[in-house]
Amino acid sequence: MTFLLAALGLLLAIEGLSLAAFPGAAKRAAAAIIEAPEGTLRMLGLVVAVAGVVLVWFVRH
């Protein structure tokens, strides 16, 4: 559980830094997400989730 909380904290820190450093790019990305078809977003979400699980598995083993 500690590992999960540390990973979540790191995610929030990176996300916050990217929003603070590149607010214009973040707004453009949000606009692109709104315009993207749901199927595309669903597939992208699944790919990113699987990549995250694989990365955590490699780091932990």
> Could you state, in order of their start, the residue ranges of all structural domains in the chain?
2-60
Residue 26 predicted with pLDDT over 90: yes
Three-class secondary structure of residue 55 per DSSP: helix
pLDDT at 3: 84
Nearest to 15 by CA among 26, 24, 2: 26
pLDDT at 48: 96
Give the DSSP H/E element, type plus range, for residue 5.
helix 2-21
| CA torsion through residues 10, 16, 18, 21, sign | negative
Q: How far apart are CA 38 and CA 30, in angstroms?
A: 14
Tell me the average pLDDT of the chain.
94
